[in-house]
Structure 1
Amino acid sequence: MISTAIAEFRKRFNREPLIVSSPGRINLIGEHTDYNEGFVLPAAIDKRIIYAIALNGTDTCNAHALFSGETASFALENIVPGGDWINYLKGVVFHLQQKGYEVKGFDCVITGDIPIGAGMSSSAAVEGGLAVGLSHLLGFNISRMEMARIGQLAEHTFPGVKCGIMDQFANLHGKKDSVMLLDCRSLEYQYFPFRFSEEVKVVLVNSMVHHSLASSEYNVRREQCEEGVKLLRAVYPGINSLRDVTSAQVQQQQHLLPAKVYDRCLYVTQENERVEKACAHLQRNELKAAGALMFASHQGLSKLYEVSCPELDFLAELASQRPEVAGARMMGGGFGGCTINLVETGKVEDFCNFVQEQFRQRYGVVPEIYITSIEDGAKVELATEAVA
């Protein structure tokens, strides 16, 4: 991918680019907890967005996306939302400007192998890669956490997805062979070595249902959680988010909450508790126990939070039948995308063949499967004097 991006950049812009590699992410457990100030357990993976980028000495930003064959441009002055993938670049540049950074015009070519809409957060990879590239080219010296916040703000205000910070955080803070426990309130984080990289593979199975996080349902879930907090505050006046209550407290106050709001609050509080339990199991090398929490997470996402779909439920059910699978669940915002499966290394081929055949029989399509590894976060891969 890097050589392809360099060749395309040279052809289009006739000079040498800086190369930035920006990963997708997995999340072992802790879904839809980030915007509720809870806990998540993500990692960066070997599926990546690649930027070839250089300053151009103008007031215009030009980008060519190899994955779509499209070219788009925007001026640095009066940036407004609009467009498809270019919207994410606009958002990053706009919020860099809002924070006082003097962004200059640039040319870039973007490619990558993160499947779009599969729940691996290609959008955060696009945002983080651009922030890393511009910070390097322009000497901004931005902290990784500030870059993550800029990416989150870009997502909120340009495509209009009120996401938490997990995706951007994982993209920028990833560490090879480690998962990260992130407290989404304090933004404190801790690395946990994933000691099972020889024993199990992280296998992602694509439901082949394209999801859109910009769909109204994602933001509806956030609003329902906020409504729950307001109602629970009548009993627990000090709370600011669902992070501040336990699942037992939510159950005690069920009578206060509309049925759907109750389900959403119960799921989020239970999921936060599952993340903390999973970390304890991982520290003790108890993979099966951690995996059981993943299966429980899927049930909560499907039945209480209602962000699954029949295809994802079918894939999770197939995984639960296989002794070589320690744990599995849907991953990402939902309504499509992938399941994440922890599969015994020697049985990966058997698992993949079984799942693909069963899914083909049910839905008439063979699901794509990605066997991933846990890698470092966004970084400059090849530095040149890529200036105007």
Structure 2
Amino acid sequence: MGIKSWFAKPLAAFAVRQINKWKNNPIAAQERTFERLIRQASGTAFGKDHNFASIKTYDDFKKRVPIADYEDLKTYIDRVVRGESDVMWPGKPIYLAKTSGTTSGVKYIPISKESMPEHLNGARNALFSYIHETGKSEFIDGKIIFLQGSPVLERKNGINFGRLSGIVANHVPAYLQRNRLPSYKTNCIEDWEEKVDAIVDETLSEDMRLISGIPPWVQMYFDRLRARTEGRKIGEIFKNFSLFVYGGVNFEPYRARLEESIGRRVDSIETYPASEGFIAFQDSQQEKGLLLLVDSGIFYEFIPSDEYYNENPGRISLEDVELDKNYAIILNTNAGLWGYSIGDTVKFVSKNPYRILVSGRIKHFISAFGEHVICEEVEHAILSVAGQEGVEITEFTVAPQVSPEDGSLPYHEW
């Protein structure tokens, strides 16, 4: 055991003690977060427009702040992009994370000096929780790779612009810098195909122990590694590879192929990061679901997904959620997003502590006949059939066939 992995264990124990303080008192943590957010933003343009100074309760807040998507907040965000201060949160954001939207083109999500540490703490605490529960810390002594976007940022109007993964790349802690791959030069390559080849060049002979990234990026990396090594399994190429950290998309459609590529069992940690905030992480290898981060500068709201498109949908705080029910997740953040729907749906698998599963996207459903089949159900169906038939599904589409040519009843065409 190296010195880093030895020191990691007491640090992990300390981190878990801090986590347990809010994990065991989640509603109080959310109430504190709510009060702090309202107080700090009361002097902003958004706070004045929505009379934050008069908000005393969550009911007051719901009356003054409507549910919003990016288009609804775009007038305010455009002012932030132009460099105006005190628009949605005090001062200017230190970053604007660029994301791709289907309706709004490029979106700019603010990250403030208060919210940036929460992005980092979420990732760090996911690893510390794993170390504390399992006692496994040796991965810190080897090489670690984070498959991510370019860390090169653009600066305009006193604000840095970039992709979230590239922004985070500029904040990797010093104690991991010597272990971290790829090199800064390789990480700055914009063309993804070229970048993956360069990453393979740099890592093929290294002692890789932790690999992290969104599943499709990791699968491409694995495919290139295997192509270079005459089809050897990743677990053979990297004999000490022991931990896979992933997030960003539903893992299940990628699981079978990734596990086949690795060729042996490795532990994994699922995370739920978003440009809007670090929402949850897997805190246990034994328990189902991701621990909702209730003390990370985000006040959460939830709308039952089957009510989302109603004129006046139900809107509740964490205290009133139910188990195994799909909700659209709504964020109010210490970067200045208010009543913001990120488009994801979640369901709670535990309330002590609050653990969630990401079940899909609020706009991803089929309801041509009133059936309202959601993404989670579609993926479960296709994966169940694939498992029964012993086949691997890489891509699929499903859509309603409303008027079959043979005059038969309507159906879903896969």
TM-score (norm 1): 0.28
Larger Rg: 2
TM-score (norm 2): 0.26
Structure number with the bigger relative contact order (C-alpha 8 A, sep ≥ 6) is: 1
